[in-house]
Protein backbone atom coordinates (compact mmCIF):
# COMPACT_ATOMS: atom_id res chain seq x y z
CA UNK A 1 0.00 0.00 0.00
CA UNK A 2 1.34 3.43 -0.90
CA UNK A 3 -1.15 5.42 1.18
CA UNK A 4 0.58 5.87 4.55
CA UNK A 5 -2.56 7.30 6.20
CA UNK A 6 -5.36 5.08 4.95
CA UNK A 7 -8.92 5.14 6.23
CA UNK A 8 -9.38 1.91 8.17
CA UNK A 9 -12.71 0.66 9.47
CA UNK A 10 -12.31 -1.67 12.46
CA UNK A 11 -15.37 -3.84 13.10
CA UNK A 12 -15.54 -4.77 16.80
CA UNK A 13 -14.44 -2.94 19.93
CA UNK A 14 -13.35 -5.91 22.07
CA UNK A 15 -9.73 -6.36 23.07
CA UNK A 16 -8.66 -7.27 19.51
CA UNK A 17 -10.39 -4.40 17.71
CA UNK A 18 -9.30 -1.99 20.46
CA UNK A 19 -5.67 -3.06 20.22
CA UNK A 20 -5.67 -2.89 16.41
CA UNK A 21 -7.28 0.56 16.56
CA UNK A 22 -4.65 1.76 19.02
CA UNK A 23 -1.63 0.66 16.98
CA UNK A 24 -3.16 1.73 13.66
CA UNK A 25 -4.02 5.21 14.97
CA UNK A 26 -0.65 5.51 16.68
CA UNK A 27 1.07 4.71 13.39
CA UNK A 28 -0.88 7.22 11.32
CA UNK A 29 -4.04 5.54 10.02
CA UNK A 30 -7.38 7.34 10.09
CA UNK A 31 -9.37 4.85 12.14
CA UNK A 32 -13.09 4.34 12.70
CA UNK A 33 -14.12 1.61 15.16
CA UNK A 34 -17.69 0.39 14.95
CA UNK A 35 -19.46 -1.90 17.42
CA UNK A 36 -23.02 -3.13 17.61
CA UNK A 37 -22.89 -2.95 21.41
CA UNK A 38 -21.02 -0.76 23.84
CA UNK A 39 -17.23 -0.61 23.61
CA UNK A 40 -15.29 -3.27 25.52
CA UNK A 41 -16.33 -6.45 23.75
CA UNK A 42 -18.47 -9.51 24.36
CA UNK A 43 -15.99 -12.36 24.95
CA UNK A 44 -13.49 -9.89 26.40
CA UNK A 45 -15.29 -8.97 29.66
CA UNK A 46 -16.17 -12.67 30.21
CA UNK A 47 -12.53 -13.75 30.00
CA UNK A 48 -10.23 -15.19 32.65
CA UNK A 49 -7.56 -12.99 31.04
CA UNK A 50 -4.45 -15.01 31.85
CA UNK A 51 -1.49 -13.72 29.85
CA UNK A 52 0.69 -16.71 29.13
CA UNK A 53 2.65 -18.93 26.75
CA UNK A 54 1.91 -22.04 28.80
CA UNK A 55 1.96 -25.74 27.95
CA UNK A 56 0.07 -27.55 25.20
CA UNK A 57 1.12 -25.43 22.23
CA UNK A 58 3.71 -26.00 19.48
CA UNK A 59 6.82 -23.85 19.43
CA UNK A 60 5.74 -21.41 16.64
CA UNK A 61 2.60 -20.54 18.60
CA UNK A 62 4.62 -20.34 21.81
CA UNK A 63 6.85 -17.75 20.13
CA UNK A 64 3.90 -15.61 19.03
CA UNK A 65 2.44 -15.72 22.55
CA UNK A 66 5.81 -14.89 24.10
CA UNK A 67 6.17 -11.89 21.80
CA UNK A 68 2.69 -10.80 22.87
CA UNK A 69 3.72 -11.06 26.53
CA UNK A 70 6.70 -8.81 25.80
CA UNK A 71 4.43 -6.36 23.97
CA UNK A 72 2.09 -6.19 26.99
CA UNK A 73 5.08 -5.03 29.04
CA UNK A 74 5.91 -2.32 26.48
CA UNK A 75 2.25 -1.30 26.39
CA UNK A 76 2.15 -1.05 30.19
CA UNK A 77 4.86 1.61 29.93
CA UNK A 78 3.12 3.49 27.09
CA UNK A 79 -0.30 3.31 28.81
CA UNK A 80 0.37 3.40 32.56
CA UNK A 81 -3.35 3.15 33.42
CA UNK A 82 -3.66 -0.37 31.98
CA UNK A 83 -4.78 -2.58 34.82
CA UNK A 84 -2.22 -5.30 34.26
CA UNK A 85 -0.13 -7.30 36.71
CA UNK A 86 2.70 -9.74 36.09
CA UNK A 87 2.10 -11.63 39.30
CA UNK A 88 3.33 -15.06 38.16
CA UNK A 89 1.54 -18.37 37.64
CA UNK A 90 1.72 -21.51 39.79
CA UNK A 91 0.60 -24.52 37.77
CA UNK A 92 0.12 -28.22 38.54
CA UNK A 93 -2.82 -29.15 36.32
CA UNK A 94 -0.85 -31.79 34.40
CA UNK A 95 0.58 -35.23 35.15
CA UNK A 96 4.22 -35.90 36.07
CA UNK A 97 5.35 -36.83 32.54
CA UNK A 98 3.65 -33.81 30.97
CA UNK A 99 5.12 -31.59 33.66
CA UNK A 100 8.61 -32.91 32.90
CA UNK A 101 8.07 -32.30 29.17
CA UNK A 102 6.72 -28.80 29.87
CA UNK A 103 9.75 -27.92 31.98
CA UNK A 104 12.15 -29.40 29.43
CA UNK A 105 10.64 -27.94 26.23
CA UNK A 106 9.58 -24.52 27.44
CA UNK A 107 12.80 -24.18 29.43
CA UNK A 108 14.77 -24.87 26.23
CA UNK A 109 12.60 -22.33 24.37
CA UNK A 110 13.52 -19.64 26.92
CA UNK A 111 10.34 -19.49 29.07
CA UNK A 112 11.07 -18.40 32.64
CA UNK A 113 9.81 -21.66 34.08
CA UNK A 114 11.00 -23.59 37.14
CA UNK A 115 9.94 -26.57 39.22
CA UNK A 116 8.81 -25.88 42.79
CA UNK A 117 8.22 -28.26 45.70
CA UNK A 118 5.50 -28.14 48.33
CA UNK A 119 7.25 -25.75 50.67
CA UNK A 120 8.02 -23.28 47.90
CA UNK A 121 4.47 -23.54 46.53
CA UNK A 122 3.24 -22.74 50.06
CA UNK A 123 5.61 -19.78 50.23
CA UNK A 124 4.36 -18.47 46.88
CA UNK A 125 0.68 -18.98 47.77
CA UNK A 126 0.42 -19.24 51.57
CA UNK A 127 -3.41 -19.46 51.55
CA UNK A 128 -3.56 -22.71 49.56
CA UNK A 129 -5.29 -25.27 51.80
CA UNK A 130 -3.33 -28.14 50.25
CA UNK A 131 -0.20 -26.94 48.41
CA UNK A 132 0.94 -29.32 45.65
CA UNK A 133 3.91 -31.66 46.16
CA UNK A 134 5.25 -30.56 42.77
CA UNK A 135 4.33 -27.66 40.50
CA UNK A 136 5.85 -25.28 37.98
CA UNK A 137 6.13 -21.57 38.50
CA UNK A 138 6.40 -18.95 35.75
CA UNK A 139 7.13 -15.51 37.19
CA UNK A 140 6.58 -13.71 33.87
CA UNK A 141 2.90 -14.70 33.51
CA UNK A 142 0.19 -12.24 34.47
CA UNK A 143 -3.33 -11.03 33.92
CA UNK A 144 -5.10 -7.89 32.84
CA UNK A 145 -8.56 -6.59 33.68
CA UNK A 146 -9.80 -7.25 30.14
CA UNK A 147 -12.68 -4.82 29.63
CA UNK A 148 -10.77 -2.00 31.31
CA UNK A 149 -7.79 -2.70 29.06
CA UNK A 150 -9.96 -2.62 25.93
CA UNK A 151 -11.51 0.69 27.01
CA UNK A 152 -8.08 2.07 27.80
CA UNK A 153 -6.78 1.11 24.34
CA UNK A 154 -9.83 2.68 22.68
CA UNK A 155 -9.35 5.92 24.63
CA UNK A 156 -5.70 5.98 23.63
CA UNK A 157 -6.73 5.41 20.00
CA UNK A 158 -9.24 8.28 20.26
CA UNK A 159 -6.48 10.55 21.57
CA UNK A 160 -4.65 9.74 18.33
CA UNK A 161 -7.70 10.76 16.30
CA UNK A 162 -9.67 7.50 16.04
CA UNK A 163 -13.46 7.66 16.05
CA UNK A 164 -15.47 5.07 18.01
CA UNK A 165 -19.07 4.45 16.92
CA UNK A 166 -20.97 2.32 19.45
CA UNK A 167 -24.44 0.82 19.15
CA UNK A 168 -24.31 0.48 15.36
CA UNK A 169 -24.24 -2.99 13.81
CA UNK A 170 -22.48 -3.99 10.63
CA UNK A 171 -24.89 -5.88 8.39
CA UNK A 172 -22.41 -6.88 5.71
CA UNK A 173 -19.31 -5.95 3.79
CA UNK A 174 -19.42 -3.90 0.60
CA UNK A 175 -17.76 -5.92 -2.14
CA UNK A 176 -16.87 -4.56 -5.59
CA UNK A 177 -15.25 -7.22 -7.72
CA UNK A 178 -12.69 -8.82 -5.43
CA UNK A 179 -12.25 -5.71 -3.30
CA UNK A 180 -13.94 -4.98 0.04
CA UNK A 181 -14.65 -1.26 0.03
CA UNK A 182 -16.40 -0.79 3.36
CA UNK A 183 -19.38 -1.99 5.35
CA UNK A 184 -23.12 -1.61 5.30
CA UNK A 185 -24.22 -0.64 8.80
CA UNK A 186 -27.45 0.22 10.59
CA UNK A 187 -26.38 3.83 10.12
CA UNK A 188 -25.68 3.54 6.39
CA UNK A 189 -22.62 2.72 4.33
CA UNK A 190 -19.11 3.38 5.62
CA UNK A 191 -16.40 3.34 2.97
CA UNK A 192 -12.77 2.70 3.84
CA UNK A 193 -9.45 1.82 2.23
CA UNK A 194 -9.26 -1.25 4.49
CA UNK A 195 -11.74 -3.10 6.69
CA UNK A 196 -10.31 -4.92 9.71
CA UNK A 197 -12.75 -7.56 10.93
CA UNK A 198 -12.44 -8.18 14.69
CA UNK A 199 -16.03 -9.01 15.62
CA UNK A 200 -15.16 -12.12 17.65
CA UNK A 201 -17.83 -14.81 17.48
CA UNK A 202 -19.85 -12.77 14.96
CA UNK A 203 -16.99 -12.59 12.48
CA UNK A 204 -17.86 -15.64 10.30
CA UNK A 205 -21.28 -14.22 9.41
CA UNK A 206 -19.77 -10.87 8.43
CA UNK A 207 -16.91 -12.49 6.48
CA UNK A 208 -19.43 -14.65 4.60
CA UNK A 209 -21.04 -11.54 3.09
CA UNK A 210 -17.79 -11.11 1.14
CA UNK A 211 -17.62 -14.81 0.29
CA UNK A 212 -14.92 -15.52 2.87
CA UNK A 213 -15.03 -18.73 4.93
CA UNK A 214 -14.00 -18.47 8.55
CA UNK A 215 -14.62 -21.74 10.41
CA UNK A 216 -15.07 -20.90 14.08
CA UNK A 217 -16.30 -22.72 17.16
CA UNK A 218 -17.64 -20.85 20.16
CA UNK A 219 -17.48 -23.11 23.23
CA UNK A 220 -19.10 -21.65 26.34
CA UNK A 221 -17.02 -20.93 29.43
CA UNK A 222 -18.50 -20.17 32.84
CA UNK A 223 -16.50 -18.25 35.42
CA UNK A 224 -17.53 -17.40 38.97
CA UNK A 225 -16.56 -14.26 40.79
CA UNK A 226 -16.41 -13.57 44.53
CA UNK A 227 -17.18 -10.28 46.16
CA UNK A 228 -14.05 -8.19 46.80
CA UNK A 229 -12.06 -9.72 49.65
CA UNK A 230 -8.73 -9.11 51.35
CA UNK A 231 -5.87 -10.62 49.38
CA UNK A 232 -5.86 -14.44 49.41
CA UNK A 233 -3.88 -15.03 46.19
CA UNK A 234 -0.57 -13.51 45.11
CA UNK A 235 -0.72 -14.70 41.51
CA UNK A 236 -2.50 -17.06 39.15
CA UNK A 237 -3.16 -20.60 40.35
CA UNK A 238 -3.77 -23.42 37.85
CA UNK A 239 -4.74 -26.49 39.90
CA UNK A 240 -6.11 -29.69 38.32
CA UNK A 241 -9.77 -28.91 39.03
CA UNK A 242 -9.74 -25.13 39.26
CA UNK A 243 -7.94 -22.13 37.82
CA UNK A 244 -8.20 -18.92 39.82
CA UNK A 245 -6.82 -15.43 40.20
CA UNK A 246 -7.62 -12.39 42.31
CA UNK A 247 -8.37 -9.12 40.53
CA UNK A 248 -7.00 -5.72 41.45
CA UNK A 249 -10.29 -5.02 43.30
CA UNK A 250 -9.97 -8.23 45.32
CA UNK A 251 -12.50 -10.40 43.48
CA UNK A 252 -11.45 -14.00 42.98
CA UNK A 253 -12.33 -15.24 39.48
CA UNK A 254 -12.37 -19.01 38.95
CA UNK A 255 -13.42 -21.76 36.57
CA UNK A 256 -12.77 -25.44 35.97
CA UNK A 257 -9.90 -24.08 33.91
CA UNK A 258 -8.98 -20.69 32.46
CA UNK A 259 -11.44 -21.25 29.61
CA UNK A 260 -14.24 -21.58 32.13
CA UNK A 261 -16.49 -24.45 33.17
CA UNK A 262 -19.09 -25.97 30.89
CA UNK A 263 -22.28 -24.39 32.28
CA UNK A 264 -24.19 -27.64 31.56
CA UNK A 265 -27.96 -27.37 31.69
CA UNK A 266 -28.06 -25.41 34.96
CA UNK A 267 -25.53 -22.57 35.01
CA UNK A 268 -26.47 -21.51 38.57
CA UNK A 269 -25.85 -25.02 39.90
CA UNK A 270 -22.56 -25.26 37.99
CA UNK A 271 -21.49 -21.90 39.40
CA UNK A 272 -22.32 -22.97 42.97
CA UNK A 273 -20.24 -26.14 42.54
CA UNK A 274 -17.27 -24.17 41.14
CA UNK A 275 -17.55 -21.66 43.96
CA UNK A 276 -17.63 -24.41 46.60
CA UNK A 277 -14.46 -25.86 45.05
CA UNK A 278 -12.83 -22.42 45.22
CA UNK A 279 -13.76 -22.02 48.87
CA UNK A 280 -12.37 -25.47 49.73
CA UNK A 281 -9.02 -24.71 48.12
CA UNK A 282 -8.18 -21.65 50.20
CA UNK A 283 -7.61 -21.26 53.92
CA UNK A 284 -10.22 -18.69 54.89
CA UNK A 285 -12.15 -19.50 51.71
CA UNK A 286 -15.35 -20.12 53.68
CA UNK A 287 -15.57 -16.37 54.23
CA UNK A 288 -15.70 -15.70 50.47
CA UNK A 289 -19.09 -14.73 49.10
CA UNK A 290 -20.13 -15.33 45.50
CA UNK A 291 -20.91 -12.12 43.63
CA UNK A 292 -22.02 -13.73 40.39
CA UNK A 293 -21.08 -15.78 37.38
CA UNK A 294 -20.77 -15.17 33.66
CA UNK A 295 -20.78 -17.39 30.59
CA UNK A 296 -18.72 -16.21 27.66
CA UNK A 297 -18.43 -17.79 24.22
CA UNK A 298 -14.81 -18.27 23.21
CA UNK A 299 -14.14 -17.34 19.58
CA UNK A 300 -11.99 -20.32 18.64
CA UNK A 301 -10.95 -21.05 15.03
CA UNK A 302 -11.53 -24.74 14.28
CA UNK A 303 -7.82 -25.62 14.36
CA UNK A 304 -7.36 -23.73 17.65
CA UNK A 305 -4.97 -21.12 16.22
CA UNK A 306 -5.48 -17.42 15.54
CA UNK A 307 -6.77 -16.12 12.24
CA UNK A 308 -4.82 -13.02 11.36
CA UNK A 309 -4.26 -11.53 7.93
CA UNK A 310 -5.78 -11.12 4.50
CA UNK A 311 -8.13 -13.77 3.11
CA UNK A 312 -7.43 -15.37 -0.25
CA UNK A 313 -8.64 -13.45 -3.33
CA UNK A 314 -9.98 -10.48 -1.36
CA UNK A 315 -8.23 -7.15 -1.09
CA UNK A 316 -9.34 -4.43 1.33
CA UNK A 317 -10.12 -6.95 4.08
CA UNK A 318 -7.99 -8.03 7.04
CA UNK A 319 -9.20 -10.54 9.63
CA UNK A 320 -8.21 -10.78 13.31
CA UNK A 321 -10.20 -13.46 15.16
CA UNK A 322 -8.86 -15.76 17.84
CA UNK A 323 -8.97 -17.42 21.20
CA UNK A 324 -6.30 -16.36 23.66
CA UNK A 325 -7.11 -12.89 22.43
CA UNK A 326 -6.21 -11.36 25.79
CA UNK A 327 -2.71 -12.79 25.66
CA UNK A 328 -2.28 -12.00 21.97
CA UNK A 329 -3.98 -8.61 21.61
CA UNK A 330 -0.99 -6.25 21.70
CA UNK A 331 1.12 -8.30 19.31
CA UNK A 332 -1.83 -8.68 16.94
CA UNK A 333 -2.44 -4.91 16.99
CA UNK A 334 1.20 -4.08 16.34
CA UNK A 335 1.59 -6.68 13.60
CA UNK A 336 -1.70 -5.70 11.90
CA UNK A 337 -0.55 -2.07 11.80
CA UNK A 338 2.82 -3.08 10.35
CA UNK A 339 1.17 -5.16 7.64
CA UNK A 340 -1.59 -2.71 6.75
CA UNK A 341 0.51 0.45 6.85
CA UNK A 342 3.93 -0.75 5.75
CA UNK A 343 3.16 -3.94 3.86
CA UNK A 344 5.39 -6.02 6.16
CA UNK A 345 3.99 -9.28 7.51
CA UNK A 346 5.81 -10.47 10.61
CA UNK A 347 7.25 -13.96 10.27
CA UNK A 348 5.58 -15.02 13.52
CA UNK A 349 2.22 -14.73 11.72
CA UNK A 350 3.19 -17.08 8.88
CA UNK A 351 1.06 -20.08 10.00
CA UNK A 352 -2.02 -18.02 10.85
CA UNK A 353 -3.38 -16.47 7.66
CA UNK A 354 -7.09 -16.99 6.88
CA UNK A 355 -6.14 -18.44 3.48
CA UNK A 356 -5.43 -21.76 5.25
CA UNK A 357 -9.20 -22.31 5.23
CA UNK A 358 -9.50 -21.60 1.47
CA UNK A 359 -7.28 -24.09 -0.34
C1 LIG B 1 -14.52 -17.86 29.74
C2 LIG B 1 -13.38 -17.37 28.89
C3 LIG B 1 -12.09 -17.46 29.35
C4 LIG B 1 -11.01 -17.03 28.57
N5 LIG B 1 -9.76 -17.07 29.09
C6 LIG B 1 -8.74 -16.53 28.39
C7 LIG B 1 -7.46 -16.42 29.00
O8 LIG B 1 -7.25 -16.79 30.16
N9 LIG B 1 -6.45 -15.87 28.26
C10 LIG B 1 -6.64 -15.42 26.97
O11 LIG B 1 -5.69 -14.94 26.36
N12 LIG B 1 -7.87 -15.50 26.39
C13 LIG B 1 -8.91 -16.01 27.07
N14 LIG B 1 -10.16 -16.08 26.52
C15 LIG B 1 -10.32 -15.69 25.11
C16 LIG B 1 -10.41 -14.17 24.94
O17 LIG B 1 -11.24 -13.62 25.92
C18 LIG B 1 -10.91 -13.85 23.55
O19 LIG B 1 -10.04 -14.45 22.60
C20 LIG B 1 -10.97 -12.35 23.30
O21 LIG B 1 -11.70 -11.69 24.30
C22 LIG B 1 -11.57 -12.08 21.94
O23 LIG B 1 -11.65 -10.68 21.79
P24 LIG B 1 -12.40 -10.06 20.54
O25 LIG B 1 -12.17 -8.59 20.60
O26 LIG B 1 -12.00 -10.79 19.32
O27 LIG B 1 -13.94 -10.44 20.75
P28 LIG B 1 -15.09 -9.74 21.60
O29 LIG B 1 -14.64 -9.30 22.93
O30 LIG B 1 -16.26 -10.66 21.55
O31 LIG B 1 -15.41 -8.43 20.76
C32 LIG B 1 -16.05 -8.49 19.51
C33 LIG B 1 -16.88 -7.24 19.36
O34 LIG B 1 -17.51 -7.26 18.06
C35 LIG B 1 -18.78 -6.67 18.20
N36 LIG B 1 -19.65 -7.10 17.11
C37 LIG B 1 -20.19 -8.33 16.92
N38 LIG B 1 -20.96 -8.32 15.82
C39 LIG B 1 -20.92 -7.07 15.31
C40 LIG B 1 -21.54 -6.44 14.19
N41 LIG B 1 -22.36 -7.11 13.35
N42 LIG B 1 -21.28 -5.12 13.99
C43 LIG B 1 -20.46 -4.43 14.81
N44 LIG B 1 -19.86 -4.99 15.89
C45 LIG B 1 -20.08 -6.29 16.13
C46 LIG B 1 -19.27 -7.16 19.56
O47 LIG B 1 -20.31 -6.31 20.06
C48 LIG B 1 -18.01 -7.11 20.38
O49 LIG B 1 -17.88 -5.90 21.09
C50 LIG B 1 -11.26 -16.48 27.28
C51 LIG B 1 -12.56 -16.35 26.82
C52 LIG B 1 -13.63 -16.77 27.61
C53 LIG B 1 -15.03 -16.57 27.13
- Contact of 290 with 336, CB cutoff 8 Å: no
* Span from the CA of 41 to the centroid of ligand 1 (angstroms): 6
Q: Which of 36, 43, 45 to mutate to test the pocket of ligand 1 (most atoms within 8 A of CB)?
A: 43
Residue 138 sits at the vertex; the CA angle it makes with 273 and 132, to the nearest 5 degrees, is 50
Select from 156, 326, 301 the least CA-distant residue to 214.
301
Give the number of the atom of ligand 1 that is nearest the alpha carbon of residue 40: 49
pLDDT, tens digit, for every residue of 23-33?
A: 999 999 999 99
Mean pLDDT across 84-89: 96
* Best CA proximity match to 34, nearest among 52, 68, 10, 2: 10
Ligand 1 atom with least separation from CA of 15: 25
Q: Which of 269, 354, 236, 263 is nearest to 303 (CA)?
A: 354
CA 321 to ligand 1: nearest atom:
26
Residue 2's pLDDT is 53
Between the CA of 174 and the centroid of ligand 1 the distance, in Å, is 24
* Percentage above 90 pLDDT, the chain: 96
pLDDT above 60 for 77: yes
| pLDDT one-digit tens code per residue, 208-234 | 999 999 999 999 999 999 999 999 999
Residues in contact with ligand 1 by the CB-under-6-Å rule are 11-17, 34-37, 41-44, 46-50, 169-170, 198-202, 206, 221, 223, 258-260, 296, 298-299, 321-327
Residues 6+ apart with CB under 8 A from 345: 309, 335, 338, 339
- C-alpha closest to that of 160 among 273, 30, 45: 30
Cα of 38 from ligand 1 centre, angstroms: 13
pTM (2 d.p.): 0.98
- Mean pLDDT of the chain, nearest integer: 97
CA dist 288 and 30 (Å) reads 47
Distance CA 69, CA 65 (A): 6
- 196 C-alpha to ligand 1 centroid (Å): 15
pLDDT in tens, 281-327: 999 999 999 999 999 999 999 999 999 999 999 999 999 999 999 99
Length of the chain: 359
Residue among 61, 49, 99, 45 nearest 351 (CA) = 61
In this prediction, residue 337 has a pLDDT band, given cuts at 50, 70 and 90, of: very high
For 306-319, write each residue's pLDDT tens digit.
999 999 999 999 99
The phi and psi torsions of 214 (rounded to 5 degrees) equal -140, 90
> Nearest 5°: phi and psi at 137?
-125, 130
If DSSP states are collapsed to H, E and C, what string results for 143-157? EECHHHHHHHHHHHH
Is pLDDT of 353 > 80? yes
Minimal-distance CA residue to ligand 1 atom 44: 35
Query: If you take atom 25 of ligand 1, which residue's CA is the nearest one?
Result: 14
Amino acid sequence: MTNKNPDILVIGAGIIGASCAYYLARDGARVTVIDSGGPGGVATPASFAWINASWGNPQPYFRLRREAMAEWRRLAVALPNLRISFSGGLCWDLGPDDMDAYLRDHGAWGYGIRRVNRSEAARLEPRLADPPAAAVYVAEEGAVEPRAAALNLLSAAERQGARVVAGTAVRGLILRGDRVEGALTDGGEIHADEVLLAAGAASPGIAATAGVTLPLTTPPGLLVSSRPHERLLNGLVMAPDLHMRQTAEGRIVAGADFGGSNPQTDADATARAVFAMLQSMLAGGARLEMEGHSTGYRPTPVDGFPVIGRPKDRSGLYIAVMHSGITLAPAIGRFAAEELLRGRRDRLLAPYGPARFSP
